[in-house]
Each structure stands twice: as structure tokens, then as C-alpha cells.
Structure 1
């Protein structure tokens, strides 16, 4: 079993019963009414996840040091991130280079926030390229103010 979902109040009111679910599940998703949900797991599982993520990231970063690895990554990016199809070829290469750099730093920092932000930013760039009217509005020189930037 992967993730068990329950309310945070269940953990507070019936902690033994709620925590017993971790025997059969990797995580418990604690739904909160007025805030972001929480995820609860064991320390051992969290360390396993971190180890696997770190090893995979380091392997990926090293692979990108070779011409064959860079070619392979460019070949698989559209399957991994379907929206890259809307990016110009030079932007796909830029995204792959930035992604590798961010992943390497994330492994060192044990934080994936910057990687998630980078992916979000590139996805938004692809959205602009996918919409001809939006692309034209954002790339046409005009005196119109498009907001801070």
C-alpha cells in the first residue's frame, strides 16, 4: 500500500490507530481543513527516499557529463516533460542544462524546492510558446506595461 489518507484530527484524537497505518503504508497523508496537507512517514523510509533520490540524481548528473548522456537526456525529455515539445530546440537544451545543475545542487542541499521551481518556470515558458496569441503579446515591442519584470 502506498499512501493512506486521513484527517489530521484522527492523528490527534486516535494517534495509535492512525500511526498503525504506517505498518502497511509508506506514508500517511494528513488532510487539514484550512491549511496545506501534511505527509507522515517513518524516519527510515524518509532516509531511504533521500538515499535513492541522491543516488539517482548523482548518476544523472554524471551521465550528463558525456555527449552520449546529453543526447539521451534530450531524447527522453519529451516523454518525461511532454510540454517541452512547445519549446524551441535551444530552450530544450537550456532546460536540460539548468535541470542537471539544479538537481546536483538539490542533492547537496537535500532540498528539491529549487528543482520544482525550475520545472514550473520552464513549464510556464512552454505554455507561452504553445499559445500564439500570448507569445505574440509578450514578444511584441510596445509601450504597454506588462507588469513588474
Structure 2
């Protein structure tokens, strides 16, 4: 189901109407011209999403505690992350381990940035490995010339 969208100005001008809409749909996308978009949700909806994520993470963590469950999770990775076909067996194992740890952190510590980072970094790794020419270009020796200090990003 698509999340309905309202503007921030509509929220401020017609807050009662927006609140009534929120009661019906549980979640609204709020667009802003001068800042990052927001999501407005009911407490009940947010609690349900958090509980769902926690149960899912605990289930995966529990599966990973046995050899059979661990194999099942690792076999499921390509269905969830098709790009893992570009990773070696060792890289897939490393990705799975990092993914499980970061998922646990997201539910236990409410730290979601690490999970997002793991997914983004492994997606980038898969992109590099998917292009046979790119790893060669990225790992070729650099010229002996010193190009100076690298500025901080």
C-alpha cells in the first residue's frame, strides 16, 4: 500500500484534517521545501513496525545459532539480496555475519545506521565485482608520481 503524501504547509494549515487522515492510514509522508521529508505515524503503527522488526531479527539470530538454521539463512540470502551472486563464498559469509550483527544492533540497541551501512557497503562491493573490468582498473598499480595529500571528504 502506498503511503499518502501531504505537504508540510498542509499539515500546518489543516492539522485536524491531516490527523483524521493519519488515523485512517496510520502513516503519512510529509514533504518539505526547505528540509528533508518526514514521515508522520501513529504510535500504534510505529510500535507494530518495531515489534515486527525485532521479532524478525530475533528469529534470524536464533536460526543462526544452529548449523542447519545458519545454512538456511545463507541459502536464503540470494533471494533477498540477488547481488550476492557476485560475491565469493567467503565474502557471502562475511556479509551474512555483518548483516546478522547489524540486525541485532538495530533491534537491541535501536541503532539502524549500522545495518544500513552494511547493506550499502556490500551493495557497492557487489557492483564493483559485477563489472569484470572495474576490479582490474581499481587494483592496477598507481604511477610512481606523488599526487599530494588527499583532502578529507
Q: TM-score, normalised by structure 2?
A: 0.88
1:30-53 deviations in Å (ceiling 9; x for gaps): 011232210000112111111111
Q: Secondary structure at the match of 1:3?
A: coil
Aligned to 1:42: 42
Kindly report which structure 2 residues correspond to 1:1-149, keeping only aligned pairs within 5 A, or say none. Answer: 3-143=3-143
Unmatched tracts of structure 1, length 5 or more: none
1:121-146 deviations in Å (ceiling 9; x for gaps): 0000000101122111122333477x
Deviating beyond 4 angstroms after TM superposition, the runs of 4 or more aligned structure 1 residues are: none
Q: Secondary structure at the match of 2:39?
A: strand
Query: 1:2 Cα shift?
Result: 5.0
**Structure with bigger RCO (C-alpha 8 Å, 6+ apart):** 1
Query: 1:96 Cα shift?
Result: 0.4
Q: TM-score, normalised by structure 1?
A: 0.91
Counterparts of 1:45 and 1:80, CA distance in 2 = 25
Unmatched tracts of structure 2, length 5 or more: none
Query: 1:64 Cα shift?
Result: 0.6
Q: Is the 8 A contact 1:22 1:28 kept in 2?
A: yes
Greater Rg over alpha carbons, structure: 2
